[in-house]
Structure 1
Amino acid sequence: MTEVLGPTPGEEFDELRGLLFSIAYRILGSVAEAEDAVQETWLRYESAGTKPVSAKAYLSAVVTRISIDVLRSARVRRERYVGEWFPEPLLDDPYDDPARSAELADSVSMAALLLLERLSPLERAVFVLREVFGFGFPEVAAAVGRSEAACRQLAVRARRHMDLGRPRFQADRQEREELAARFFDALRDGDVDGVRDLLAADVQLVGDGGGKAPALARSVVGADNVSRLLASFFPALAGLEASVEVRALNGQPGAILRDRAGGVVCTFVLDTLDGRIQTIRSVLNPDKLGHVGPVGDAWAITRALRQTRRPD
């Protein structure tokens, strides 16, 4: 009689890797830190003396605890961060669950991740496990080391904070993609009026350079100001052989700006509401772009743009 063997620890871990990364990324807002948390989870799992009853419950709890510890130290660093802090842009979420597709898509957006920053590390972990991934309170309690009653209270507080910060209406995916396509087409053409027509009156353009990149996207407010600024330099990018790759980032319409060698200079993500672009967030900090591709020289792009705009 042939013995039927179950999956090895490595096979179990590989099957759950996408889930573990997705949990860690939502808690940490960092691709690099999430990958490190997943790797540390594997090391602990590999060295565990006994096999857990549920690999999913065990590994999810371990990656959550590691992420909470990392977040606590990261929050101290973020208090000293130069300028606006944004999460690292995410190209693709490796975890998919059709039953929770709406929660997963909403929770990975830049806007949602910035709202999560307002929560304490425990509130954030409880919200992610319970509201995003649908874990039961017994599993949540085991993961964060609190009682079920305490976790229910943490979940209520976290939901309240998140609901207060969320916009009441969201455009559907097709509407957002069509709006983004019109926006980037108008930018390429230098069409100031066309860009302005797609922006909310109080639109914000905000950049995260971390003090390590030029202020290509300093905080600018108002449709007139934002449209003039963007339409003044986007058409010139073609002359520099730079390219704008329109694609979804963090589940939102966005784009990647690359230099002539294909190096990533920055990313853009668009928040849309009521048929208008409300916020444009740009990540320029080179420390946050390495996972997107080879990092380009934003300073060189800025110098070249200034040269093209100088009078002869």
Structure 2
Amino acid sequence: MSKVEEFEELRPLLFSVAYRILGSVGEAEDAVQESWLRYDAAPVRPESPRAYLCTTVTRIAIDVLRSARVRREAYVGDWLPEPLLDDPYQDPARATELADSLSMAALLLLERLSPLERSVFVLREVFAFGFDEVAAAVGRSEAACRQLLVRARRHLGEGRPRFEADPGEQRALAQRFFEALSRGDLEGLQSLLAADVQLVGDGGGKAPQLARAVTGAEQVARLLATFYPLMVRTGISCEPREVNGQPGALFRDREGKVLHVLALEVLDGRVRAVRSVINPDKLGHLGPVADAWAVDREVRRARRRER
């Protein structure tokens, strides 16, 4: 097998590891590409391409995450991971761990960890790497990696997300949610929301966004029921999709350009969180991006006309 064939066979795994460490599609893709360049330039062919490439992409991701932490501290508004519609790596033996670790809730929880803790946790808990492999990947001893994993678990604590066991029930609830959303059905929306539901928007200062997260079923339902029917009437379409392994939707303007992505977190038969990513820098991997400011002006004009 050629180097190119070996790399392409491992690319889904490399991307999936890098994305969970970084929470960014673009940065994960760049890390994977850089790992290929280093692999291709290696003077001696590694005995294990998988070990070499996983180590390389992990170390690149750790370095990128360290600098990204500084940028995120100055981020405008709430920061959310870049939405991922399809995870390229599939392993039936690890399906539950892979799905849970991909969710927005899980990725946000991983933000509590240091880059080393996060990398050790992802490699060991999500992808079931042996401690010898983890140690080689992060450049620490096995004993140190065990301690890093203990610290990571402690930092995550009871915050680790739980999800409904039946994806069919999730999809059914999401369908009712989006139907109520398109109608502006305040009572219908409120009945589907957890009492302490949160609505969080990520515009990064580059698109219209909430000044702060909105909390509570009545407040969230009222805000959604006010604005989304107006968006529909101004030509915005809602395309139900799985977002980071959970129910969600892709919204497009009348030209078919991506406006924003909505991800739902479902727990105990209710929507616990609604997360909206509208920052155009986080949507480019999904296709041409709409002008969110222009859409916002049109929606506000429509609202004034209907008053």
Say yes or no: TM over 0.5. Answer: yes
Farther off after superposition, 95-104 or 237-246: 237-246
Cα distance in structure 1, aligned partners of 2:178 and 2:254: 19
- How many Å apart are 1:216 and its aligned residue? 5.7
On the 8 A contact 1:57/1:139 being kept in 2, the answer is yes
On the 8 A contact 1:83/1:211 being kept in 2, the answer is yes
Are the structure 2 counterparts of residues 217 and 198 from structure 1 closer, same or farther at C-alpha, using a change threshold of 3 Å? farther
Cα distance in structure 2, aligned partners of 1:36 and 1:109: 21
- For 2:41, the equivalent position in structure 1 comes to 47
- For 1:92, the equivalent position in structure 2 comes to 86
Cα distance in structure 2, aligned partners of 1:168 and 1:100: 16
**Amino acid in the other structure paired with 1:98:** P
- How many Å apart are 1:265 and its aligned residue? 1.1
**Amino acid in the other structure paired with 2:302:** T
**Deviations, residues 214-251 of structure 1 (Å, cap 9, x unaligned):** 12685211111111111112222232111011110100
Are the structure 2 counterparts of residues 211 and 81 from structure 1 closer, same or farther at C-alpha, using a change threshold of 3 Å? same
Cα distance in structure 2, aligned partners of 1:167 and 1:59: 30
Cα distance in structure 2, aligned partners of 1:54 and 1:109: 31
- For 2:192, the equivalent position in structure 1 comes to 198
Counting only pairs closer than 5 Å after superposition, residues 148-167 of structure 1 correspond to structure 2 as 148-167=142-161
Structure 2 spans left out of the alignment, 5+ residues: none
Percent sequence identity is 69
- For 2:279, the equivalent position in structure 1 comes to 285
SS in 2 for 1:246: strand
Aligned length: 306
- 1:114 aligned to 101, 108, 118, which one? 108
- How many Å apart are 1:255 and its aligned residue? 0.7
Runs of 4+ in 1 over 4 A off after TM superposition: none
**Deviations, residues 7-33 of structure 1 (Å, cap 9, x unaligned):** 011110000000000000000000000
Cα distance in structure 1, aligned partners of 2:132 and 2:152: 18
**Amino acid in the other structure paired with 2:42:** A
- How many Å apart are 1:311 and its aligned residue? 4.2
Cα distance in structure 2, aligned partners of 1:10 and 1:282: 37
TM-score of the superposition, structure 1-length normalised?
0.95
On the 8 A contact 2:261/2:277 being kept in 1, the answer is yes
Cα distance in structure 2, aligned partners of 1:220 and 1:93: 29
Counting only pairs closer than 5 Å after superposition, residues 151-300 of structure 1 correspond to structure 2 as 151-168=145-162, 170-215=164-209, 218-300=212-294
- How many Å apart are 1:163 and its aligned residue? 3.9
- 2:76 aligned to 66, 70, 82, which one? 82
Are the structure 2 counterparts of residues 308 and 171 from structure 1 closer, same or farther at C-alpha, using a change threshold of 3 Å? farther
